[in-house]
Chain A
Amino acid sequence: MAVRDLPLPTDAADAAARAEAPQATAERHGWKWLLCAPALAILLFAASGPLLIVLVYSFLTPAGFGGVIWEFSLEGWFRVFMTRDIFDPDQVGPNRANLAIFWRSVSLAFQTTLICAVLGFPTAWFIATRSPRSRPIWLFLITIPFWTNLLIRTFAIQEVIRNQGLINTLLLKAGVIEAPIQMMYTDFAILIGMAYVFLPLMVLPLYAAMDKLDIRLLEAGYDLYASRWAVLRHIVLPLVKPGFIAGSILVFIPAIGAYVTPRILGGGRNMMLGNLIELQFGQGRNWPLGAALAMTLLIIVVAALVLYLRHVGREDEGRRHG
């Protein structure tokens, strides 16, 4: 072919490329679906399937010794929020015990998230400002608690806060108090235990966000007459916000459904949602109520997430333009 025959008008070439494009994309999409199949299968059978079973069970009638009778009933959902008088089933009232447990779960999970954020920020900052060579060592130390079983760690906390435990013994010996402070079997004990257990889940995403922070932005802030506090507020916090969001979600969700920690540190009286659900499937032998409670927990988590992300998004919208 002669060289002068070669040059094609660029527009024509572009148009040709565009015409071919949709077909190629469609083909690629087909492949993508196939490649996603294993992941989709796991999602379907391991996540959606069990969830569907729980949802269906919540509308059935409890069998006498656990399990369900396939007979539609709203009693499970009714019992989540209401109670019936034992002697007169028609006399109904709000289920104050359950509502107290919902409130305790939400409140303790929220407080746990707050404590983790307050303790996690300086911890993550400390690690992020070490020399690049020592950072992996500090991160490694943060992950060490994961090596031990949650049950063992919770018993360790118990050893620290119980009446004959470390804190009370020291305070008694030092003469600060005359009688041991009752910490075991209180909401406070649950809070301490959960903050301890979930702290690494806040530190790690916060560290990841801080690691990307350009130190020169802080210098620019100081240079432009910002105090240390103003730099923290106007530059550091907005820029590590994604880390806070990720960490808050990672802490709040497992905290609201926590089971082991409230069971051991809260005792029988200070139940959280996880314990209440376990009770219905176990001693209570009321599977539909347990299933309805589990769905309620799911609804609370999703609602909290939606509210939180909306709030965070709106704040961003306010600052961004267009």
Chain B
Amino acid sequence: MPDASAPAHPGQDMSQADRTAARPAEIEVGRLSKVFGTGTAAFRALDEVSVTVRQGEFFTLLGPSGCGKTTLLRLIAGFEQPSAGTLRIGGREVAGLGPNQRPVNTVFQNYALFPHMSVADNIGFGLRMLGRPRAEVAATAAEMLRLVRMEAMATRRPAEISGGQQQRVALARALAPRPRVLLLDEPLSALDLKLRKEMQTELKRLQTETGITFVFVTHDQEEALTMSDRIAVMSEGRILQTGTPEDIYNRPADRFVADFIGDTNFLQAEVLTVAEGTATVRLPGGASRTANLPAGMAPAAGDRVTVVVRPEHARLASESGDLSGRVERTVFFGTDTHVHLRLADGTAFTLRRQNMAAGVPAPSAGAEVSLALAEGALQMLRG
């Protein structure tokens, strides 16, 4: 680690966080709010959100529909003006500037390609509007067509190409003017699964090749985890947690984040002792283990808290383990098997077990088993 004095959480891989932390800020959002409507009909879509997106980052806004992620994107793009707060892009305050005055381009959910223009004219539109010479527009359009592998389609109309191809054209059109930031509003949601996987790789490649900052909006947690440098999880107009995919998955800060991303087991526990960044807690059944604390949380000894553990971070133990319970049912998933348990105190617990070629068969329903938790697997939740 380059900076030994940085308050690092033990057991956490900091390499990815460091990579982006070194870069200057691209978008600085400060206590940004957006209220739609007035009086009793007023709806607070965004509630004092603060976040910093760094240069060259693949940053994802993740949350269920109606959480405010698209509103935040539209505020950055300039389609909406904020009700309160500050918004800086590349160090410049952009409040009051229209979308055509911001160094930001958007890939729309339905692509919004101009139906009366050819693919090449669609891609060249931004540069033409910027008043670039004809030759430059044509050269850049050709380069963009190559970048998204659509050279053969240059003269087609949007209606004459497939959905996946329209997606590529929308990307090329938004990238052609070389914006500082590319905003992507659920661009993959209209594609079928196979195409979506393909475009995920494609998007990541484009981002690496162009070095442009991507702000990506999605409700798909898997998409967010596989593509992002950092993720901001949003709910009800607020950002609940910002961090690397590993951070968000392994160290969820609150119940919503833990529940929204992946499968999680929630356990009631009691705090025994508190150290820096960690606390020792008593689990249901009496075993005491170390749990990681979310940033800024300082529980006191004796507090009743909730801790979470991912299903794949627990294993069946032959010796007496950290938890014990009775198997209720097992579900076979091919690569792994989910074992659903009921702990002694009545809490439901699921454990995920990889199916080895010559593995021990999964326990049958009704068996009494012991569980061992992996090192660093316990994470305490706020509130």
Residues of A at under 8 Å CB distance from B? 214, 216-217, 219-227, 230, 234-235, 238-239, 319-322
Residues of B at under 8 Å CB distance from A? 77-79, 98-100, 104-106, 108, 110, 112-118, 121, 125-126, 129-130, 155, 157, 173-174, 177
9 contacts between A and B (CB under 8 A): A220-B114, A223-B104, A224-B105, A225-B100, A225-B129, A226-B125, A227-B100, A321-B118, A321-B155
Q: How far is the CA of A238 from the CA of B99 in the complex (A)?
A: 22
Choose among B79, B106, B114 the residue with the greatest number of A CB atoms under 10 Å from its CB. Answer: B114
CB <8 Å contact, A224 and B157: no
Candidates A222, A224, A238; contact of B116 at CB < 8 Å? A238
Q: Which residues of the other chain, A, contact B116 by a CB distance below 8 angstroms?
A: 238-239, 319
Q: How far is the CA of A235 from the CA of B121 in the complex (A)?
A: 12
Where chain B touches its partner, the secondary structure class is loop
Q: How far is the CA of A235 from the CA of B114 in the complex (A)?
A: 7
Q: How far is the CA of A223 from the CA of B108 in the complex (A)?
A: 10
Where chain A touches its partner, the secondary structure class is helix
Q: How far is the CA of A227 from the CA of B128 in the complex (A)?
A: 12
Q: How far is the CA of A133 from the CA of B137 in the complex (A)?
A: 43
Q: How far is the CA of A217 from the CA of B110 in the complex (A)?
A: 10
Q: Which residues of the other chain, A, contact B117 by a CB distance below 8 angstroms?
A: 319
Q: Do A225 and B106 form a contact, CB below 8 Å, given A217-B114, A319-B116?
A: no
Q: How far is the CA of A216 from the CA of B118 in the complex (A)?
A: 18
Q: Which residues of the other chain, A, contact B110 by a CB distance below 8 angstroms?
A: 214, 216
Q: How far is the CA of A320 from the CA of B157 in the complex (A)?
A: 8
Q: How far is the CA of A234 from the CA of B115 in the complex (A)?
A: 12
Nearest-Cβ distance from residue A287 to partner chain B, whole angstroms: 49
CB <8 Å contact, B114 and A219: no
Candidates B106, B115, B130, B174; contact of A239 at CB < 8 Å? B115
Candidates A223, A227, A235; contact of B106 at CB < 8 Å? A223
Q: Which residues of the other chain, B, contact A222 by a CB distance below 8 angstroms?
A: 78-79, 98-100
Q: Which residues of the other chain, B, contact A221 by a CB distance below 8 angstroms?
A: 114, 125, 129
Q: How far is the CA of A219 from the CA of B110 in the complex (A)?
A: 12
Q: How far is the CA of A234 from the CA of B116 in the complex (A)?
A: 10
CB <8 Å contact, B112 and A224: no
Nearest-Cβ distance from residue B36 to partner chain A, whole angstroms: 14
